[in-house]
Amino acid sequence: MSDEENEAPAEVPTHLPIVDYLVLGDDPHLVANECTGCEARYFDRRNACARCGQGEFASVRVDNAATLRSFSVVHRAAPGIPVPYVSAIVRTDDGTSVRSNVVGLDDPMKAALGMRLTLTTYGCGTDDNGTECVAFGYAAA
Ligand SMILES: [Zn+2]
């Protein structure tokens, strides 16, 4: 493998979002598929809107500011996942529901319904090529 040492580095991104609706860069944010008929928003790919049945979607930026709407403090998880952590559903200021975690609290028990949050990103591991996986969560605003 030593003959590969002098080759120019391949075009491998140094950061990869953990989900394709997370956009990285200087201004990380989420992107949703918004139904052009009823404005329902989805993070997964749909052939038709679950609310109105229409089949056209537009890619829209989701507001980074959010409010904590529902959460539970998780004390048990798969090996390698630090506990406790706060599993949450937040509502962004533009009305999008996002399933995520609340991160950055010094004590997870301080999570409270209605608390103001803002989107944040963090590294969640590096692969053999040095590409860092980036996840998102919501931190207290
Ligand atoms: Zn719709």
* pLDDT tens per residue, range 20-75: 999 999 999 999 999 999 999 999 889 999 999 999 999 999 999 999 999 999 99
- Residue 1 resides in a domain: no
Cα-Cα-Cα-Cα dihedral of 76, 79, 83, 85, to 10°?
Answer: -90
pLDDT band at 5 (very low <50, low <70, confident <90, very high): low
Residues of the domain holding 37: 13-140
Q: Distance from the CA of 33 to the center of ligand 1, in angstroms?
A: 10
- Residue 103 resides in a domain: yes
Lowest-confidence segment of 5-19, 74-88, 94-108 by average pLDDT: 5-19
Q: Distance from the CA of 118 to the center of ligand 1, in angstroms?
A: 27
Q: Look at residue 8 and tell me whether its pLDDT is greater than 60.
A: no
How much of the chain exceeds pLDDT 90, in percent?
A: 78
The pLDDT score that the predictor gives to residue 71 is 97
- Residue 2 resides in a domain: no
The pLDDT score that the predictor gives to residue 59 is 96
Q: Distance from the CA of 56 to the center of ligand 1, in angstroms?
A: 8
Around ion ligand 1, residues with a beta carbon closer than 5 Å are 35, 37-38, 40, 49, 51-52, 54
Cα angle value 11/12/13 (rounded, 5°): 115
This prediction's pTM: 0.85
Contacts of 32 (CB under 8 A, 6+ apart): 21, 41, 42, 43, 59, 60, 62, 96
Count the domains in the chain.
1
Q: Distance from the CA of 30 to the center of ligand 1, in angstroms?
A: 19
